[in-house]
Amino acid sequence: MTERAIHIGLLLSALALAGWVFGSAGPGLQSATRSASRAPRDQASLLALIPPGSAFLLTADLRQLEGGPLGAFLSERVARLGGAGKLAKLCGFEPLARLDQLVISVPSADLAAQEHPEDFGIVAAGRFRAAEITECAAAVIRERGGESVPSTVGDFRSVRSRGASGGEVAARDGLLIMSGGSYFRALVDAAGGSFERREHQDPRDARHAELRASLGAGALVASWLLGDNWLLRVAGDEASAKLSVLSAVTGIAARLDLGRTTSLSVLLACASNDGAARLASWLVQLRSSLGGLIPSPELARLAERVTIRQAGPRLELGLMLSQAELQVLAAQLLGP
């Protein structure tokens, strides 16, 4: 699997997970187990656990997003797959409805320190006990025909499937880690305090911080650093990659805020002012011609409202949506 496919897949999974959580919360949630006092309480503390040099980062304040206009819609879509009810039945509770904060990270595929470039990390804080999470994970492994292997890593309880190459789940009261390979151990070490992290230890960390600060705080924020020759890996043709205006893009960040109105902000970081100008011109032309390219008139009208503004080597794209428009957009993008 390519680095790009991993990043996009995780992003879509995160959005689906968030939708599931938003729509799952109910009265029973208030009586859920309280987090241990030592558990991280916000996105910043969870981000501090992420090893240096990530290519992709996504943070979600699930409590802030809970009950948002898109929550029930995505929850219903996920429930159609049979996953939500099945998980709750296996575990005896809805584990996703206990989450408050979520961080998803993917290390850069060219990091020499990474044992497996396909590694990823999910860190979540919420209202649960460690035993609840590990017993739930073991039940899922058994249901799939595997043999669960429990262990203790520092002050974490962990469980994995014997002989499987997949990830491992570790939990302590109020804190959950899911990952694989060397990345899993790095996350657990960081949460246990045995991993010394200095501010912006890797240049990529500083770039993430800058992109995210430019967008500002949001309920859902993602930043993605594009590696060298990323467009060549996507297009597969060197000539097309070099000529494309998209080759100027070096990083992407996005912020989604859900409320009475939905605000979507996208930041495109480019290699130069000239590259940003050429990309802006192309996007303006694309926006004006989308009416004939998009079969859905609703999507075409929304695309025409996207604002495009250049600020030096960066482009700022924005779109405001009403609740009804958000539902239409989600239905069009996700399909039946």
Structure tokens at 55: 């290519």
Residue 290 has pLDDT above 70, yes or no: yes
Q: Are residues 244 and 153 in the same domain?
A: no
Residues 177, 265, single domain; the answer is: no
What is the dihedral sign for C-alpha 218, 202, 5, 187?
Answer: negative
Q: Assess whether pLDDT exceeds 90 at residue 116.
A: no
Stretch 66-84: mean pLDDT:
60
Same domain, 178 and 234: no
* Residues 13 and 154 placed together within one structural domain of the fold: yes
Same domain assignment for residues 39 and 167:
yes
The answer to whether residues 233 and 178 belong to one domain is no
The percent of residues above 70 in pLDDT, for the chain, comes to 74
Domain annotation covers residue 261: yes
Sign (positive or negative) of CA dihedral 57, 218, 248, 5: positive
- Is residue 113 pLDDT above 70, yes or no? no
Q: Across the chain, which distance is largest between two alpha carbons, in Å?
A: 59
Closest residue by Cα to residue 193 from 45, 55, 56, 33: 45
Amino acid at position 157, single letter: R
Query: Is residue 220, in this structure, part of any structural domain at all?
Result: no
Cα–Cα distance measured from residue 95 to residue 164, given in angstroms and rounded to the nearest whole number:
23
pLDDT at 31: 33
Q: Could you tell me which residues come within 8 angstroms of residue 250 by beta carbon, excluding any fewer than 6 positions away?
A: 225, 226, 269, 270, 271
Q: Using the 3D structure, point to which of 192, 215, 248 is the last residue of a domain.
A: 192
Same domain, 292 and 150: no
pLDDT value at residue 253: 96
Nearest to 156 by CA among 137, 131, 181: 131
pLDDT of 4 reads 39
Q: State the average pLDDT for the chain.
A: 78
The answer on 309 and 182 residing in a single domain is no
- The answer to whether the beta carbons of residues 58 and 192 sit under 8 Å apart is no
Most confident of 5-19, 60-74, 178-192: 178-192
Which tens digits make up the pLDDT trace of 231-248? 887 777 777 777 889 989
Q: Is 87 contained in some domain?
A: yes
Q: Which domain holds residue 328?
A: 226-334
Structure tokens at 296: 């859905």
Q: 46 with 183, same domain?
A: yes
The total number of structural domains in the chain stands at 2
What pLDDT does residue 280 have?
96
In-domain check, residue 206 = no
- Does residue 18 register a pLDDT over 60? no
How do residues 253-286 score in pLDDT, each as one tens digit?
999 887 778 889 999 999 999 999 999 999 999 8
Structure token digits, residue 184: 């899993």
Which pLDDT does position 210 carry in this prediction?
A: 94
Res. 58: pLDDT tops 90: yes
Same domain, 138 and 230: no
Residue among 248, 205, 243 at smallest CA distance from 230: 248
Question: Percent of the chain beyond pLDDT 90?
Answer: 32
3-state secondary structure at position 281: helix
Q: Do 16 and 121 belong together in one domain?
A: yes
Q: Is the same domain home to 173 and 232?
A: no
pLDDT interval class at 81 (50, 70, 90): low
pLDDT digits (tens, 9 = 90+) for 117-161: 457 899 999 999 999 999 998 998 888 888 999 999 888 999 988
